[in-house]
Structure 1
Amino acid sequence: MARTRPTRWKRRLIVGVATAALVGVGGPYVYINYIQDDPPAALSLDSPPARPESTSGSGSGSDGQAREGVEGAWRVGSGSQAGYRVDEVLFGQNVTAVGRTEEVTGKLEIEGTRAVGGSFTVDLASVKSDSDQRDGQFRGRIMNTERYPNAVFELTEPVDFGSVPDVNEQVTGEATGDLTIHGETSSVTFDLTAQRTADGFRVNGSIPVTFADHGIDAPNFGGIAVEDEGTVEFLLAFGPA
């Protein structure tokens, strides 16, 4: 018995479904791999300042002169930035999402070769990525920045850098403290790198974050699946308080 050929409308339906499937799979692949810009590199001491570092105000002493030595009180000044980095699957394609802000404040107290106290605060509502849609989800259902506007890290143990660096020299240490995000606090330990400048110093680090530790559900919605962990990146420029 001869097979009947599909009617015209059935053929069109099959072609339409196949085309939609191709666009649904191929479209994100083409955009992510050929159109979308690569994510910015991780923050490091080689990163240029977010904006030129000030030589007055928070970046210098009250008399505008650079301070001798490193002991005493310091505060976060211009040229600082912080944000998040997290891996996600976007319509079947692996991507790295990065959001940053320059709205960072903080302080540090140094005695000898040790940072004996300090904290920094990030204004989460000002964090921006390369996607307005992602930013809206970040501020809304993910972080609820109206209720929890800030992320805060506070040292709970001194950081010993081992020596007082010369200008432009880098030193490393290990920091332990409390990280508060989304109203939940967890203890974290991570590596720090500091570099002395002519009138202060810069500090760089990356703090691992497990979303569940802060009462945050892994953000999975609309073809986007986000890993259960991410990092808080920061590059802080300190000047005399």
Structure 2
Amino acid sequence: MLKKLFYNRTLVISVFVVLIIALTVVGLGPLIYSMIAGPGVTTEPLDDSRAKEASTDVNGQWRVGDGTAPNFTSVGFSFNEVLPAERRLTSGSTTAVDGEIEVTDQEVTEGSIKVLMEDLTTDKTVRDQNMKSKLFETDKFPEAFFKLTAPVDLSSVPEDGTKGKVTMEGELTIKDATQEIKQDFDVLRDGEHLVIGGAIPINRLDYNVKTPEFLAAKVAEEGDVNILISFKKQD
């Protein structure tokens, strides 16, 4: 009898302890998450406030370069993260971008961009690790690509250091999925540079970017691929 009572008491205490731990985790989840989260590293919009007049012919071959302030080359993403009591925009970005475009008779006739996904970074190490291993699976899919599929008319882009706007069509590949996109972009001729910037709205599920079951946060399905690329004329 005493043995049975002792067993029942132990069982009740064990269940009580488990409930306390569970409630503590649920209650502290948002707090813990807020300690490891932040706005991230953002690819900024194209800025023509310090641009100079174009100093080279637009026709020819252009290659991705580092860029100059404030238009340094980078590609990234922005998604909303949803907490029980908060919704915040989180971004990641990388400067590991390569590619070329060919311009003939003021039209971009060919163009491709490659982004090294392993170099994507936010502002938190833990989030970086989760982003690479669980979302983008960079060990399997180390690169993302954009390939132009239609000519782009640059004849209306100003030469005086102010930005213009063009429409681009192409194929965007993330992980093992490729989608057709058509989007407006800002274009700037700045001295010897040709700069393209903008945001491509995407649904991450279209690219098989699926999130695991996080404790406190959920990642929105809709987000943006953010682009700011500075090209330099090749000799």
Change (3 A) 1:48 1:226: farther
Q: How much does 1:24 deviate?
A: 2.8
Match in the other structure for 1:232: 225
Aligned with residue 80 of structure 1, among 73, 78, 85: 73
Match in the other structure for 2:215: 222
CA contact (8 A) 1:113 1:164 kept: no
Change (3 A) 1:28 1:146: closer
Change (3 A) 1:203 1:22: same
Which runs of at least 4 in structure 1 moved beyond 4 Å after TM superposition?
19-23, 35-42
Q: TM-score, normalised by structure 2?
A: 0.77
CA contact (8 A) 2:43 2:228 kept: no
Structure 2 counterpart of 1:27, one-letter code: L
Match in the other structure for 1:43: 44
Q: How much does 1:222 deviate?
A: 2.2
Which consecutive residues of structure 2, in runs of 5 or more, have no partner in the other structure?
1-12, 67-71
C-alpha distance in 2, partners of 1:39/1:98? 5
Q: How much does 1:218 deviate?
A: 3.9
Match in the other structure for 1:184: 177
Change (3 A) 1:122 1:94: same
C-alpha distance in 1, partners of 2:159/2:96? 29
Aligned with residue 113 of structure 2, among 92, 107, 120: 120
Aligned with residue 24 of structure 1, among 9, 23, 28: 28
Secondary structure class of the residue paired with 2:131: helix
Secondary structure class of the residue paired with 1:157: coil
CA contact (8 A) 1:113 1:160 kept: yes
> How many residues end up aligned between the 2 structures?
209
Which of 158-167 and 129-138 deviates more?
158-167
Change (3 A) 1:216 1:122: same
State, as a whole percentage, how many aligned pairs show the same letter.
27
Query: Larger RCO: Structure 1 or Structure 2 (Cα < 8 Å, ≥ 6 residues apart)?
Result: 2
Secondary structure class of the residue paired with 1:146: coil
Matched, 1:71 2:75: no
Structure 1 counterpart of 2:44, one-letter code: L
Match in the other structure for 1:168: 161
Q: How much does 1:37 deviate?
A: 5.8
Matched, 1:193 2:223: no
Change (3 A) 1:25 1:144: closer
Q: How much does 1:220 deviate?
A: 3.9
CA contact (8 A) 1:43 1:235 kept: yes
CA contact (8 A) 1:167 1:198 kept: no
Q: How does 1:69-108 map to 2 (within 5 A)?
A: 69-78=57-66, 79-108=72-101
CA contact (8 A) 2:75 2:115 kept: yes
Q: TM-score, normalised by structure 1?
A: 0.75
Match in the other structure for 1:158: 151
CA contact (8 A) 1:115 1:160 kept: yes
Change (3 A) 1:170 1:148: same
Change (3 A) 1:121 1:41: closer
Which of 207-216 and 69-78 deviates more?
207-216
Please report the RMSD computed on the Cα atoms of aligned residues, expressed in angstroms.
3.1
Structure 2 counterpart of 1:132, one-letter code: T
Structure 2 counterpart of 1:82, one-letter code: V
